[in-house]
Amino acid sequence: MLPKRKATMGYCGGPGRGKNIGDNGMNSEADWTQATQQFQEHLGEGWKKALESFQRMDLGGPQAGVAKLSFQPDKLMALQQAYVREASELWNQGLAGNVGRDKRFAGDAWASNPVASFSAAVYLLNARTLLGLAEAADADEKTKARLRFAVEQWMAASAPSNFMALNAEAQKRAVETRGESIARGMQNLLKDIQQGHVSMTDESAFEVGRNVATTEGAVVFENELFQLIEYKPLTPKVYERPFLVVPPCINKFYILDLQPENSLVRYLVEQGHRTFVVSWRNPDDSLKDKTWDDYIEGGALRAIEVTQEIAQAPQINALGFCVGGTILGTALAVQAARGEKPLASVTFLTTFLDFGDTGVLQLFIDENFVKFREMQMGGSGLLKGQELASTFSFLRPNDLVWNYVVGNYLKGETPPPFDLLYWNSDSTNLPGPMYAWYLRNTYFENNLAKPGKCTVCGEKVDLRRIDIPAYVYGSREDHIVPIGGAYASVNHLSGKKRFVMGASGHIAGVINPPAKKKRSYWTNDQLPKTHAEWLEGATEHPGSWWTDWSAWLKPHAGKQIAAPKSYGRGKYKVLEPAPGRYVKAKA
């Protein structure tokens, strides 16, 4: 039984400001007791319905076909008791809900609006309880993880902050602007419907080649898959071994060349490296039949060959970022199988070579999903860029989806210009056959990490045959390439290796120029089996990992020679100024 509520307890606006029982329509203690009993009955019904909803969930995987989920009785009882206790406390507090530190409800408007504050507190209680139910389920770990993910998505979408009728800040803004915020929100909604995605930044503030991707250079080669950009030297002398950057084909290369002050490309050039970058073509129907082999042979291997020929260098240095690193690593394994060794060193940034630990992404991928994709586009077709972008955004739904829904549409705000988010919205397609092969052989079956399991470009892939110095970088808070997955590469490469961990996430951790003096990085000369063991002996250093990498790269770059006076060489002529036309093609 709930404790009796005092007649002087605050009802509207919290303790000390409320009305007595009579003012609430409760004319006696009997009325209050009856209302309390009804509330308890309501809690019981709600709890029963929540359990039934969970038990009806079909999450696939090892428990597919099981009619109902079961729950561990002791955990279920503890969870139910906690829910009733916390719900009772909310009931006895009236509308003085406590939303803690949740930034969605942190504004003054929420605190001053008791109905909104109470709805947010109830929502947070329900969210905690549903996540607790997921933990209490008697299921394997992957099913539990799927349950957690489903609950998180559901709760992110159903937050009171996402609805005008419940969002106290949006309501206050509407009153203060006399409805102008609502009108602007409708305009923002119509604009986003037309462009096909939720605006994360003021996209009109940026133009590729004008104020992003501005490092001076020229396109010196192109085929149907990529353009090769050579950048103008900024030093009188350059290292004799040129540097090739292979970015992800899932996004555009200019994440590495956003603004002069945060451009990794410009940093390389300033350090005296003759720098080349692959600019992948944004696939259209003419590329719908391209395969993983095409991206290795006609992409990475061709780029290495052309860079060698232009610089007249027997060996070069190269970097692969994210999927670009997976492509580069596969290409190096193919070359090793052919007895070729064109690289003096390789750098892998937030890259999977071993897909044993892919974090939340592995929740989506099972045999049925892979077979569906293979049937859908394994022979021919395109995976649309917006589908990829939406998938990655919903890995962090509150930060990358609903935050902008609330700001753009409910509050009528125009998001501020932000180069990184402009790049994030500039999506790319993928050829279906290439994507289907990648899905099965990496995320699902992890075949790249199994010596001889994959045949690529006619060669058996064995990562152990990559016997060159390697710099492996992972970001501590990366939700796309978890730090353990990035670290796993050191267990497969045979050359001398260095692993470095940076602070922050998949992009912000990588794009961390030294001049900003932000964040930190960790080093450890020992390379045990797991990242957890490595971290125990790691040393933290303030600032950017770029300086550590630059010092590591210098001995592998060879002697310094006079910087070239022109782009290209021989048959490799200037085709157009950087950043080229491939990067400007929209999905």
Q: Please count the CA atoms within 13 angstroms of the CA of 18 that sit on its side-chain side.
A: 23
Q: Please count the CA atoms within 13 angstroms of the CA of 347 that sit on its side-chain side.
A: 26
Q: Which of 516, 512, 519, 494 is nearest to 549 (CA)?
A: 512
Helix (H) or strand (E) holding 275: strand 275-280
- Bridge partners, 347 (sequence order): 319, 471
Q: Which of 531, 433, 547 is nearest to 481 (CA)?
A: 531
| Beta carbons of 138 and 68 less than 8 angstroms apart | no
Query: In angstroms, rounded to a whole number, what is the distance separating the alpha carbons of residues 218 and 564?
Result: 13
Residue type, 55: Q
Which positions ≥6 away from 256 have C-beta within 8 Å? 245, 247, 263, 264, 265, 277, 321, 511
**Pseudo-torsion of CA 489, 482, 324, 527, nearest 10°?**
-20
| Beta carbons of 432 and 379 less than 8 angstroms apart | yes
Positive or negative: CA dihedral 133, 134, 140, 141: negative
End-to-end CA distance of the chain: 61
| Rg, the chain, Cα only | 28
Query: In angstroms, rounded to a whole number, what is the distance separating the alpha carbons of residues 54 and 58?
Result: 9
Query: In angstroms, rounded to a whole number, what is the distance separating the alpha carbons of residues 311 and 37?
Result: 82
- Output the six-digit token pair for 207: 């133009």
249 is known as an active-site residue: no
Strand locations in 444-536 (E): 455-456, 459-460, 470-475, 497-502, 520-523
| Beta carbons of 27 and 109 less than 8 angstroms apart | no
**How many separate helices (H) and strands (E) can be counted in the chain?**
20, 17
From 249, 322, 454, 457, active-site residue: 322
- Bridge partners, 24 (sequence order): none
Alpha helices (runs of H) in 222-377, residue ranges in sequence order: 264-270, 292-294, 302-311, 323-337, 367-377
Positive or negative: CA dihedral 526, 527, 528, 532: positive
- Output the six-digit token pair for 146: 């799927």
What percent of the residues of the chain are helix, what percent strand, and what percent coil, each to the nearest 5? 50, 15, 40
Catalytic residue annotation: 322
